[in-house]
Amino acid sequence: MDVRRRLGLNLKKLREEQGFSQESFADHCGLHRTYISGIERGVRNPTVVILDKIAKALKVPAGQLLDEARGVSRKS
C-alpha cells in the first residue's frame, strides 16, 4: 500500500475514534478542512512538520500515523 494512502487511512481512523469531524479536526490543528481531506484520500504529501502537528493534535506518536493499517483492505 502506498505510504500516503496508509497515512490517510490511519489519520481517518484515529480522527473518527476521537470523535472529530474533518472540519473540527482541521480547526484543532490549524489547517484547512480540504487539506485534511486530501491527506485522508492519499492525494496530499504532507511535510514532517504537518505530520507532527497532526500527531500532537491526536495525542499519538507521529510514527503511529505511518504504521501498517490493520483491518483495512490492502488494495491500492
pLDDT, tens digit, for every residue of 7-45?
Answer: 999 999 999 999 999 999 999 999 999 999 999 999 999
Gap between the Cα atoms of 23 and 20, Å rounded: 8
pLDDT band at 68 (very low <50, low <70, confident <90, very high): confident
- Number of domains into which the chain is organized: 1
Say if residue 74's pLDDT is above 50. no
In a domain, 26, yes or no: yes
Side chain identity at 35, as an amino acid letter?
A: Y
Residue 13 per-residue DSSP state = H
Residue 52, H or E segment: helix 48-58
Closest CA to 14 of 61, 75, 46, 74: 61
In a domain, 34, yes or no: yes
In a domain, 13, yes or no: yes
- Burial class from Cβ neighbours inside 10 Å (0-12, 13-18, 19+) for residue 38 reads middle
